[in-house]
Amino acid sequence: MKNTFGTCVSVTLFGESHGEYIGAVLDGLSPGVPVDRDYIAHELELRRPSGKISTSRVEADRFSIVSGVFEGKTTGTPLTVIIPNESARGADYARGLPRPGHADLTGFFKYHGFEDYRGGGHFSGRITAALVAVGAIVKSALSRRGIAVGTHILRCAGVNDAGFSDISREIAELDEMQFAVLDEGAGERMREKIEEAAKDGDSVGGVLETAVTGVPVGVGEPWFDTLEGVIAHAVFSVPGVRGIEFGAGFASADMRGSESNDAFVLQGGKIMTETNKCGGINGGISNGMPIIFRTAVKPTPSIFKPQRSVDVLKNEEVTLELRGRHDPAIVHRARIVIDAIVSLALADMLEARYGGDYFGGGE
């Protein structure tokens, strides 16, 4: 399936940047999960552009849940969210003039020119709003099982944030922050750098760090649905992601085995690992420690500097100068999308292991 992810719990995404509606169908989530519209709105708010460091296209994201919720709870049948595009300005876009770093060129050749090219069409980051909406519901479901997901901006425009130290508390705090950092000073410096790049008509990238706590031991499948593989599959769907690493990640390459291995120890009668170089995963399966991964996000490809491109209809080189409304950085908005998609991936694997009623039941 192309625009569907997951098996036991699945999400299907639809819509285009400048179409009538974007939306998502969430299927398979247990019946009886309370659906809190305010929390969905809150999560959409965290994704929404704001201030000088974001695009001036601000969508109200007036979502409707048109199926799958009855008397405030999931029914267990498909839950559909639709969100109108209210601030679309399709006229800003021209056919056959691919913007570097975007999917315009590949979309043109894949869909033979029939794609909705306006603002990236179906490839647009806009679609992630629908993902965040259903992701919020899934996050709520996970929390009923003591599982929490949170992401902070570990690095942006060359500025480092602090690392996770007291993960559970920090995840809760991140869920209240518009610009998600653990060290507020670092966040301020990042925002300055983003504004600086914006003034230059340019953009910046960053690294996100995600932690998941509370996943029971034994989730994931060797060959081939490893936790890392499934999470990576999901995360690369988020536009702009260029890399992912778990636990010690790329730094492991320079370690020795004695340094890279996590010893098993008993803490309060429970088996834990002394360190967490493996990011909470052994052999593709959760070991009960926090799952930790980092995602590399490239700078927003939409910049206001002149760029070389090719007019694919005339087959001639051109210089492209973008107009329209664009983000000088998306890393701070992408983090809530990562949370959403990882929540979905985990919910799917948890229901695969524990069955379809895992998240449900009474209030």
Ranges within 104-133 binding its own copies (CB under 8 A): 104-107, 109-112, 114-116, 120-123, 127
Binding mask 70-109 for its own copies (x = CB under 8 A): x--xxxxxxxx-x---------------x-xxxxxxxx-x
- What the block records as the tokens of 37 is 């519209």
- At residue 131, the 3 state secondary structure works out as helix
Q: Does 290 bind its own copies (CB under 8 A)?
A: no
Considering the complex, what minimum distance in angstroms separates the CB of residue 21 from its own copies? 4
- What the block records as the tokens of 134 is 């259903």
Partner residues linked to 34 by β-bridges: 73
* Window 150 to 209, contacts with its own copies (CB under 8 A): 155-158, 197, 200, 202-207
User: Which C-beta is closer to its own copies: that of 185 or that of 216?
Assistant: 216
Core vs surface per residue 24-63: b (16+ CB within 10 A) or e: bbbbbbbbbbebeeebbeebbebbbbeeebbbebebebeb
Measured in degrees and rounded to the nearest 5, phi and psi for residue 2 equal -90, -50
What's the Cα-to-Cα distance from 89 to each of 68, 99, 147, 326, rounded to whole Å?
32, 17, 40, 12
Interface residue with its own copies among 58, 60, 283, 313 (CB under 8 A) is 283
Considering the complex, what minimum distance in angstroms separates the CB of residue 175 from its own copies? 23
Interface residue with its own copies among 136, 180, 211, 232 (CB under 8 A) is 232
Q: Which amino acid is at 297?
A: V
- In SS3 terms, 274-309 reads as CCCCCCCEECCEECCCCEEEEEEECCCCCCCCCEEE
Nearest residue to 120 via CA among 95, 138, 87, 150: 95
User: Which C-beta is closer to its own copies: that of 113 or that of 185?
Assistant: 113
Considering the complex, what minimum distance in angstroms separates the CB of residue 177 from its own copies? 20
Q: Does 55 bind its own copies (CB under 8 A)?
A: no
Query: Total residues at the site for its own copies (CB under 8 A)?
Result: 157
Considering the complex, what minimum distance in angstroms separates the CB of residue 250 from its own copies? 4
- Pick the stretch among 45-53, 135-143, 177-185, 345-353 that binds its own copies (CB under 8 A): 345-353
Q: Does 46 bind its own copies (CB under 8 A)?
A: no
